[in-house]
Every structure is written in structure tokens, then in C-alpha cells.
Amino acid sequence: MLKNIYYTAIVLFTLIGSFSGCKKDLGNYDYQPINEVNFGGIEKSYTAEIGKPLVINPVLKFTKDENDTAQYTYEWYALTKDYSVLPKDQRKNLAKTKNLNVLITIASGQYQVFYNVTDKKTGITFTKSFDLQVSSEVYEGWMVLNDINGTARLDMVNQNLNVIKDVLKTTGSNLTLTGKPLDIYCYPWNPSTYGIYITTDKLTTKIDPETFSWKNTLAIAYEFASNVPSDLHVDFIKAADEEVSYVNTQGNYYYYFYTWSRNYSVPINIVRGENKVFPASPFIATVTSDYPAGAILFDKEKQRFVRHVNGESSCALMPDQPLFDYNKTGMDLVFMDNTSYNGGEAFAILKNQLTSKYYLARINPGDGYKQNYYQEMLATDIDKAEQFAINPDFGYIFYNVGSKIYEYDMFNKTSKLMIDKGTDKISLIKFQQVFKQSTVGVSNKLVVCSYSLGSPTDSGKMELYKVPNLNADLSLTGAYTGFGKIVSVSYRERPKS
């Protein structure tokens, strides 16, 4: 018992001594108010446009030095809210001045901007932040590649539905297009950088997707692992999915897959176990049901379908199916494309050279390359068809014969004249492939491009048509003029928040 009393006494004495020491220590500090900064004249959010000035004149009030602004340093910087951007690229420095007056050169998107004011004497920093939405006249929309008297010009129908002629010149791009225009193609070629590819018979190259500026390392030659000319041009690009694509050049196909670091390298149009590449059709149907995404190709020499799967460097034969022999069709391929119709199918149109009959085949890659349909096409003037396009909603097949566009219903086996451009020439019909599911209202519009033969440099027109069911008449939803002879269009997508 005495031991416990003695221990308790020691503890109480120690606690009393501690409180006493704390009380005495309070008198050892002399607190002085610091010089603080109060921010005014800065809104909670701003919008800005690339290439245009952003001006902010903050009102600063200092609590101690009567607003002596020379005693401070200043810093403005922006942090992107796009978390797919690499950490080293997330911060963008704007200025080191009291007031902000800069031309916006950062990429389109949402940012949080920080304004730092640092007291030189104490080193203390005071911060004010706000939201910034950066947009661009060329943020999103249709890229339109024209033929102007044999040379290429890139135009655009932007997100505000305004036509921008010679968009490279308008944006101050340092790329000058030379040669005959061939193709414009847009797709997300890697996770951090969107791809806008322009092809002429002199060069295939990307441009900066935000500013449209250019440098030589954007040429497609830099995406090849094999030795190719620096000014290489390909015939066309076809993406199977985000980060997966094929290019066709000089009759050969090459494969790219970003995730596996697979650059274009050797021709893949060779069947496994065979010793030579086959002459490949310029029509290809990409396959998204496989991983990695693949494609269906057509061997023109042996008149057979083959498949490219598993990211391999060669193709494989197709599995046996009952409607027709994939490996011995006995016909020529006149058109093939992939579509989202019926969950994802490839449509192929074949011609029997002996009978001059045309056949439609529908292939479902996601179900073991099952043949869902194979019948003769009883379509008006099908033998004179110049271009084809497949509607993804109803599977209608559109084709043009001169200035006339027909819609073919495979179930009724009937053709209906939908558009007659009279004396104008149709240069392009298509449905746009999309990669972002949020890109609504683009893929199911029939794109029709035409021009007057008498004035091909300024009579070009691009029209968009809604396709209803039950073979009802098309309805015009958009018309844009002032182009040349349009040879290719592609939609520059943006993810929607």
C-alpha cells in the first residue's frame, strides 16, 4: 500500500511541474502578424481560345507594406484536368508577371490555374486558383480534304458548323501540302495523342491535333520499324480500334498496335505456312471482337478471304462455313467494310466474272466468323456502281451510279433511288466510323460530297442525310459549301464529359 501511495505522489508532482513549465514557456514567444495578400479581380472561372489572348488584371491588397508590388514575385501556371496526360506534361507555365496577358497556346481542355504571389522578404507564398476552359476554333468537327486543280487543300467544318477554308493556313500551321490529295483519317492512335493523318501522293503525316502545327517527326515513316523513305506516303489508313491500325501501301498491308509496341514493320498479307505475300484487295474489314483487334483481308489472286488475328505477322485461313467457301469464292471482291450493324458485321460484295452477278455476304467475326447472309443482289444498275456505303442502323447498302444514289434493301431485294444530283458529280459517299461512344449522331449519317464539273474549285458541297427505316426518304440534316472536289472526309472526335 505504501508503495502505491509513493508512486501516485511522484506522478502528481511530475504533472504539476509539467503544467508549471508550460505556463512559463508561453511567455518566451513574441508573435508578429505577417504581411498577407488579399486577392480581388479574379473570377471563379474563365474560358479562352487557342491563339487568342487571356487577360486578367488582379487587384492585390497587402496588409502591411501599403501595396509595394515590387516586393513580390509572381507566377501563373495551369494544371490539366485530363488525367490521361503524362505527369511530366500536366503542368503548363503561363507567365511570371503581376498581370496576366498571354496568347493561349496550351491544348484544348479543362484546367485549374494557380496564381502565386511570393513575399521576397519572408518567402511566404499566397495562392489564388480558378478554373479555365480552353477551346479552339478547330476543337472538333469534319476534316475535309479537297482537290484544287490537282493539289491538296485541307478544310474543316468545326464544332460550331462553320466552314474553315484552308485550315492549315488559318491556324498558322507550318505544313504546306504538296501533291495530289488522297486521304484524311482521324483516330486515337495512342492514349495521350490523337491522330489526324493527311495523305497526298508526296507524304503521309500527322499534324498536331490541337494547334495543327507540324514537324518532320510526325511523318508516318517514324511509325515504321523497318527502313522506309522519310517522305513515305501510304494509300490509306484503317483503324481497327483505338491504338490498332492497318496501312496499305503498294498493295501490301502493315500492322500497328501501340499497347504491344508493335510498329509497322513487314507486310502481313502472307498466309501462315506459305512462302510469298499475296496481292491484297484495297478493301479491308476490321474486327473489334478479337483481342487485339484484327481484320479480314481478301487475296485477289486466289479469290479467298483470310483473317489477321492475335497481332501476328501473317494471316490465317478462315474457318469452314456452309453458305460459301471462304477459301475458294471463285469471285472478285468489289467492296468490303466493317459496320456496327447487328452487333458488328463485315459486309462484302462479290462479283462473279462468268455470270456478271453480284453477291452480298455478311460475316460475324464475333461468332467464329459465321456467315450470317449470302445471296445474289438484285439491285438496279449494280454493275455500274462506283462507290458503296453501309448504313450501321438498318444494314441498307447505298451506292452511286453517276449522279444518282440508290438504297438497296437486302431483305426485300429492292433498290430505291434516294438522291439525284443532276449534272453534278458525286465524289464521295460514306458513313463515318467512330471510336468514342460519346460521338453521337455522326456514324449514322450518310455523307454525300459532290461538285459541279464546270467549276470544281469552289462548287464542292458536303451534305449529311438522316437514314430512316422502312425505306423512307432521306432527310437532309446539314449542308456545307465552298469546297473544291472533296476526295476524303473524316471526323475529328472529342470525348464528351
In-domain check, residue 3: no
Q: Averaged over 320-334, what is the pLDDT?
A: 97
**Is the pLDDT at 153 greater than 50, yes or no?**
yes
Is residue 271 one of the residues assigned to a domain? yes
- Whether residues 367 and 420 fall in one domain: yes
On whether residue 2 sits in a domain, the answer given is: no
Examine the fold and report which residue of 110, 135, 160 is the final residue of a domain before the chain moves on: 135
Boundary (domain end) residue, out of 94, 120, 135: 135
**Residue numbers of the domain that contains 78:** 37-135
- Looking at residue 14, its pLDDT comes to 42
Tell me the residue type at 305.
F
248 and 299, same domain (yes or no): yes
In a domain, 23, yes or no: no
What CA–CA distance (Å, rounded) separates 294 from 128? 50
Query: Given this model, what pLDDT does residue 29 score?
Result: 56
Confidence category of residue 70, pLDDT binned at 50, 70, 90 = confident
Taking residue 327's Cβ as centre, other Cβ atoms within 10 Å add up to 16
- Same domain membership, residue 154 and residue 69: no
60 lies in some domain: yes
pLDDT of residue 2: 35
Task: Give the model's pLDDT for residue 67.
Answer: 65
Same domain? 113 vs 177: no
Counting the structural domains of the chain, the total is 2
Task: Indicate the pLDDT class of residue 33, thresholds 50, 70 and 90.
Answer: confident
Q: How confident is the model at residue 143 (pLDDT cuts 50, 70, 90)?
A: very high
Q: How large is the average pLDDT for residues 107-136?
A: 93
CB neighbours of residue 458 within 10 Å: 14
State how far the Cα of 240 lies from the Cα of 116, in Å rounded to an integer.
46
Query: Which is higher by pLDDT, 497 or 423?
Result: 423
Q: Is residue 23 pLDDT above 50, yes or no?
A: no
Q: What is the DSSP string of 248-273?
A: EETTEEEEEETTTTB-B-S---SBTT
Calculate what percentage of the chain has a pLDDT beyond 90: 79
Do residue 90 and residue 175 come from a single domain? no
**Residue predicted with more confidence, 66 or 138:** 138
Instruction: Give mean pLDDT, residues 303-310.
Output: 97
Claim to verify: residue 150 and residue 124 sit in the same structural domain: no
Helices in 192-242 by DSSP H: which ranges? none
Residues 131, 145 within the same domain: no
24 found inside a domain: no
Same domain, 73 and 152: no
Q: Are residues 178 and 131 in the same domain?
A: no
**CATH number, residue 114:** 2.60.40.10
Q: What is the CATH number of the domain that holds 453?
A: 2.130.10.10
Q: Is the pLDDT of residue 258 over 90?
A: yes
pLDDT of res. 11: 38
Q: Would residue 384 count as lying in a domain?
A: yes
Same domain, 272 and 167: yes
Q: What is the mean pLDDT of residues 173-199?
A: 95
Does 336 lie in the same domain as 289?
Answer: yes
The pTM assigned to this predicted structure is 0.82
Cis-peptide into 292, omega within 30 deg = yes
Residue 31: predicted pLDDT = 60
- CA–CA separation, 426 vs 475, rounded Å? 18
Question: Does any domain span residue 27?
Answer: no
Q: Are residues 127 and 165 in the same domain?
A: no
Of 135, 154, 185, which closes a domain? Answer: 135
Q: What percent of the chain has pLDDT over 70?
A: 92
Backbone angles phi, psi at 166, to 5 degrees: 45, 65
